[in-house]
Amino acid sequence: MEPKEASFYRKLHTGECECALCPRRCRVRDGEYGFCRVRRNVGGTFFSTSYGRIVAANVDPIEKKPLADWMAGTNTFSVGTFGCNLDCRWCQNDTLSRGDYREFPDAPYYPPEQLAKAAIHRGCPSISYTYNEPAVFAEFVIDAAAAAHRAGLKNVLVTNGYVTLEAAAELYRDIDAANFDVKGFSADFYRRNISGELAAVLDSVKYFFSLGKHLELTMLIIPTLNDDLETIKHFIDWVKTELSPEIVLHFSAFHPAHRCMELPPTPAKTLFAIRDLAADAGIKQIKLGNLRIS
């Protein structure tokens, strides 16, 4: 296919392109890529190098996204590309998030309509944009989600929520359900550990909630980094106050990965204490994930 011009950017008189997809707002010089590694300035025009170039595709239970309270018992056709706009030290999918099409120039291209046909062929009533951060292939998500709706399918976004509200208005338009991965609940934690801004994520979560679509939230609990119970209580209170106690909260155990191999797995007792905090606060559904209890 011909290179796909990106949406959500502006051309600068310097020849740079300023990306408006995520709050990072990269200013990208000619020939270079943004932080996400998949959006490139070519002669003053910005391109999405990941458009339709699916490098991961699987049939998953919807509960694996995780979505505990939406289309339960069904499978979802899950797809992802290379690239991410955050840099989590503990990333579970770093081969995708830090992957690079320059090293895999022959990655196949799938038109949006073909994705819908593939989901139907596999008996999946929904498509999930997941594995890496779907915001970095937003143009494809927007087109594929519209094609999925035309084919009678639902759309799921599994996201870090690091997107501008300008882009979110289009990205979320045809999304029916989402799980937002809130990494922690302090601005310092976001800056130090993932090179992002918490406030922008919370704004994105609130905006999605305001659209009346199905929303669930996940937090991976990492020993010594974001497992302070008082901070987690602030997060739970924020959910209850700014969103709803009906929101399903998923708290997952960390296991050593990527650049956090030195940290221990999350003790089960930590997740049980968090579950009790959330229940005492009035959260209706609390799910614990990745627990390994011997």
Same domain, 156 and 283: yes
The last residue of a domain, from among 48, 64, 79? 48
Q: Each residue's pLDDT tens digit in the chain (294 positions)? A: 778 999 999 999 999 999 999 999 999 999 999 999 999 999 999 999 999 999 999 999 999 999 999 999 999 999 999 999 999 989 988 889 999 999 998 899 999 999 999 999 999 999 999 999 999 999 999 999 999 999 999 999 999 999 999 999 999 999 999 999 999 999 999 999 999 999 999 999 999 999 999 999 999 999 999 999 999 999 999 999 999 999 999 999 999 888 888 999 999 999 999 999 999 999 999 999 988 765
In a domain? residue 220: yes
| Phi, psi values for residue 155, rounded to 5° | -125, 140
**Euclidean distance between CA atoms 71 and 76, whole angstroms:** 10
**Euclidean distance between CA atoms 175 and 128, whole angstroms:** 9
DSSP E strand stretches across 69-118:
75-80
Token reading at 23: 């709050």
**Euclidean distance between CA atoms 291 and 294, whole angstroms:** 10
In a domain? residue 175: yes
Same domain, 10 and 90: no
Same domain, 176 and 131: yes
Token reading at 42: 């070519």
In a domain? residue 294: no
Same domain, 32 and 150: no
Same domain, 34 and 74: no
Which helix (H) or strand (E) covers residue 140, if one does? helix 138-150
Same domain, 88 and 230: yes
Angle, in degrees to the nearest 10, between helices 268-281 and 229-238? 40
Residue 149 CB burial class (10 angstroms; 0-12, 13-18, ≥19): middle
Same domain, 20 and 141: no
Looking up residue 63, the CATH number of its domain turns out to be 3.20.20.70
Same domain, 149 and 125: yes
In a domain? residue 233: yes
In a domain? residue 223: yes
Residue for token pair 């943004």: 34
Beta-carbon count within 10 A of 104 CB: 12
Give pLDDT, residue 290.
Answer: 87
Same domain, 202 and 263: yes
Angle, in degrees to the nearest 10, between helices 138-150 and 112-121? 50
Q: Could you tell me which of 203, 201, 179, 180 has the C-alpha nearest to residue 190?
A: 201
Same domain, 24 and 152: no
Give pLDDT, residue 258.
Answer: 86
Give pLDDT, residue 293.
Answer: 61
Report the SS3 class of residue 50. Answer: coil
**Euclidean distance between CA atoms 52 and 43, whole angstroms:** 22
Query: Contact 70/175 with Cβ under 8 angstroms?
Result: no
- Kindly state the DSSP code that residue 134 receives in the 8-state scheme: G
In a domain? residue 9: yes
Length of the chain: 294
Q: Which residues pair with 217 in a beta bridge?
A: 180, 249
Range of the domain at 44: 4-48
In a domain? residue 66: yes
**Euclidean distance between CA atoms 220 and 63, whole angstroms:** 16
Token reading at 14: 């310097």
- Kindly state the DSSP code that residue 48 receives in the 8-state scheme: E
Same domain, 193 and 274: yes
Same domain, 43 and 170: no
Q: Which residues pair with 251 in a beta bridge?
A: 219, 288
**Count: domains in the chain:** 2
In a domain? residue 132: yes
